[in-house]
Amino acid sequence: MSTKTGPQHYPGASRTHWYQDEYGGDAMEVNAVVLHTTEGRTLPDYGGGASAPNLTAVPDLAAKKLRWYQHFDIETSSRALVNESGGVETNALNVCQLELVGTCDPSTHAKWEEAGESHIYWPEAPDWALRGVARFLAWMHAEHGVPLSGPKAWPAYPKSYGNEGGQRMSGAEWNDFKGVCGHTHVPENDHGDPGAIDFAQLIKYAKEAPDAKDDGQDEDWTARLTGAFRRWTGADRS
Ligand SMILES: [Zn+2]
């Protein structure tokens, strides 16, 4: 099976926090995206990369934009999931992992609000942040064929921890999964992030993203995505 086909760097993402030289990872042909929330307010150092995802999106609240950092190639396995020996593969099972800086925990959200610490509470993410994530998913769909679909159940934290919401996939379901899911859905893992992110809206925005104009992305990115849109629909945009 071929691996690592298509572009390996998300346009516009900084590679100043690159961990692939230290943690080589496995080459994959990605067919899924796993979303996380960092439960912090700034770019984590991930223990020097030991628990890093492929990418981190850091909200710039003043500019209303996501600032992207890439830590591994799109199709090199990253390290933000637990992987038990003897079970299914997790990090290395053809997934590209994205950490969203902010929280999915309502108690953390309340604490930060109380302290006046600005942040994104992802279950109530502002439109610009959701659209920023959606553009990435649209790119993953156009360039890597990741389906713009995923699990139905996105329980709120803390019900999303463990499997109290009944949302976590079995090993067999995970092995067959293609699309977009959360850490909360991955077997061998307990974490409940990204909680009740508005998945339906995220997917709706991702499907609209190729038509996004004047959205703050650079022209090169827009041109690439327009080209991808033509390839994928066989149609010109009007
Ligand atoms: Zn996580």
Domains and CATH numbers, the chain: 32-233 (3.40.80.10)
Ligand 1 center to 86 CA (angstroms): 21
Q: Compute the distance from residue 235 Cα to the ligand 1 centre, in Å.
A: 38
The pLDDT tens digits for 6-40 are 999 999 999 999 999 999 999 999 999 999 999 99
Does pLDDT of 235 surpass 60?
Answer: no
Ion ligand 1 neighbours (CB, 5 A) are 36, 183, 191, 193
Whether the predicted pLDDT of 182 surpasses 50:
yes
Higher pLDDT, 238 or 111: 111
Measured in Å, residue 38 CA sits from the centre of ligand 1 at 7
| Per-residue confidence band for 3, with pLDDT thresholds at 50, 70 and 90 | confident
Q: Which helix (DSSP H) or strand (DSSP E) does residue 68 occupy?
A: strand 65-70
pLDDT at res. 223:
55
**Ligand 1 centroid to 5 CA: how many Å?**
26
82 Cα–ligand 1 center, Å? 9
CA of 26 to the centre of ligand 1 (A): 20
Per-residue confidence (pLDDT) for residue 193, from 0 to 100: 98
Checking if the pLDDT of 211 tops 50, the result is no
pLDDT tens by residue, 72-126: 999 999 999 999 999 999 999 999 999 999 999 999 999 999 999 999 999 999 9
- Percent of the chain residues past pLDDT 70, beyond the cut: 87
Residue 146 Cα to ligand 1 midpoint, Å, equals: 20
Ligand 1 centroid – CA 25 distance (Å): 18
CA of 120 to the centre of ligand 1 (A): 16
Ligand 1 centre to CA of 208 (Å) is 27
123 CA to centre of ligand 1 in angstroms: 15
Instruction: Work out the average pLDDT over 180-194.
Output: 98
pLDDT at 198 over 60: yes
Q: How far is the CA of 59 from the centre of ligand 1 (A)?
A: 17
How many angstroms separate the alpha carbon of residue 144 from the centre of ligand 1?
A: 22
Burial of 143 by CB count in 10 Å (0-12 exposed, 13-18 middle, 19+ buried)? buried
Q: What is the mean pLDDT of residues 192-217?
A: 81
